[in-house]
Amino acid sequence: MSQIAGAFEDRRIRLVRAEAIVLRRRDLGEADRILTLFTRELGKVRVVAKGVRRPLSRLGGHLDLFARTQVLLARGRELDVVTQAQLLESFLGLRHEPWRAGWAGYLADLTDRATADADPQPALYDLLVESLRMLATGADSFVIVRRFEMRLLVLLGYQPELSNCPRCSKRLRPGSLAYAPEQGGILCAECVGSTANEIPVSVGAVKALRFLLADQWHEVASRPLSHSLRIQVEAVLRAALEALIGGPLPSATVATILQQPEENHEQPATPLPGTSS
Ligand SMILES: [Zn+2]
């Protein structure tokens, strides 16, 4: 009786098909891996890929880091198990230069930290795919990464206030402005200095942030951006992301050190204004 019931249960294992990006992976036992997948249909899930490290595994090569892959998952009580995987896109260019892989790792880490388990975010999934594709082939990681950061904030409901001062509600006008992490927006000249950890921003940086907010990233990509403007835009987005995540973004520093050669900043690891205590 119980044997029959057990067999019936086995046949009722729920299989789910999903498209996924491999955000993270770690070895388990002799031949398995635990993967963190960001799927379009199910959101973020942790799964086991059994035997994936064996040379002749059917899953091998389909579940590499950052790969876009179609998976068939057997839903488990704790972890799902990958029963089939079919590689859709490997973003091969990411493997050609360390800075590309470094930034891909940053986007994956950010996605992992900013999302909850089993909370589908199809628009964010599409953004991640598009951004990995751009990173694999594109020239300017700055615009690709900052655009991803801003879109992620918008999609998760944390978009910065860039039109009106969040403290006095007045429309922002050119002057000495600063981003206030506590208020989640740019303070007008009169309110600057009233909150902690403010990040001074130039009018040019506010413009670049507004273009990113409107997803007009081509406008940012088509202009020469000074080093100080880049630092300001990066610092504002980082502060907004840290408010969303509730902690620091360690891999951002690693990716910054892996800055692509043509940008060739003299001091890529310089601490950003307002981010240190
Ligand atoms: Zn104000």
CA of 170 to the centre of ligand 1 (A): 6
Q: Average pLDDT in the 2-17 region?
A: 62
What CATH superfamily classification does 139-257 receive? Recombination protein O, C-terminal domain (1.20.1440.120)
Tell me the C-alpha to C-alpha distance, in Å, between residue 37 and each of 48, 134, 169.
Answer: 10, 20, 41
Tell me the C-alpha to C-alpha distance, in Å, between residue 235 and each of 33, 197, 215.
Answer: 36, 11, 19
pLDDT over 80 (residue 270) = no
pLDDT band at 9 (very low <50, low <70, confident <90, very high): very low
Contact 163, 152 (CB under 8 A): no
| Percentage of residues in the chain having pLDDT higher than 70 | 86
Domain boundaries, the chain: 2-91, 139-257
CA of 146 to the centre of ligand 1 (A): 26
CA of 202 to the centre of ligand 1 (A): 16
Tokens describing residue 90: 């490997």
| 205-217 confidence digits (pLDDT tens) | 999 999 999 999 9
CA of 78 to the centre of ligand 1 (A): 49
| Maximal CA-CA distance, the chain | 79
| 211-237 confidence digits (pLDDT tens) | 999 999 999 999 889 999 999 999 999
- The secondary structure of 134-160 as a DSSP string is HHHH-S-HHHHHHHHHHHHHHHTT---
Q: Average pLDDT in the 265-275 region?
A: 38
Of how many residues is the chain composed?
277
Pick the CATH number of 2-91 from 3.20.190.10, 2.60.40.10, 2.40.50.140, 3.40.50.300: 2.40.50.140
Residue 205 one-letter amino acid: A
